[in-house]
Amino acid sequence: MTPVPLQGYLLIASILFCIGVWGLINSRNAVRVLMSIELMLNAVNINLMSFSSYLDGSLIRGQVFTVFVITVAAAEAAVGLAILISLYRNRTTVDMESFNLLKW
C-alpha cells in the first residue's frame, strides 16, 4: 500500500481554490473578499508543496517558492486591510456594491 498519492493533495488544492473563487465573486463584505484571496493563495501553496515533495526530489525548490508566496500574502493582507479601513472611514460601509468610485 502506497502512501497518499499526489492526486489527493491536488484534489484538495483544486477544491480549496474553487471555493476561494466563488467567495471572491459573491461576498458582499470586503473583509470576506480578503479572506477568500487568502484561501486561494493557500490552495496554490498546497500545490507547490506537493509538487515539490513528489516531483522535485531533494531539491525542494517548491518549498522556497511557498516561503515567498507566504511573504507576499502577508504584505497583501496588510495593505489590503489598510485600504479597507481607509475606505470604511470615507464611506462608512464595507459593502462591496457601494465601492463604485472607479466605475465608469
Partner 1 sequence: MNIASSTEQICFLILGSVVILGALGVVLLKNIVYSAFLLGGVFMGVAGLYLLLNASFVAAAQVLVYVGAVNVLILFAIMLVNKKEELKQIKGLRTRKVLSGLVCTGLLFLLLRVDLTTNWNLPGPSAIGELSTERIGEHLFTDYLLPFEVASVLLLMAMIGAIVLARRDVLNTDIATGDSVDQNLIEKSNDPILLEQSSN
Between residue 8 and residue 67, which ones bind partner 1 under the rule CB under 8 A? 8-12, 14-23, 25-32, 34-36, 38-39, 42, 45-46, 49-50, 52-55, 57-61, 63-64, 66-67
User: How near is the Cβ of 41 to partner 1 at its closest, in Å?
Assistant: 9
| Helices and strands (DSSP H and E) totals, the chain | 3, 0
C-alpha 48/C-alpha 54 separation (Å) is 10
State the sign of the Cα–Cα–Cα–Cα dihedral 73, 43, 36, 26.
Answer: positive
Residue list 75-94, contact with partner 1 (CB under 8 A): 75-79, 81-86, 88-94
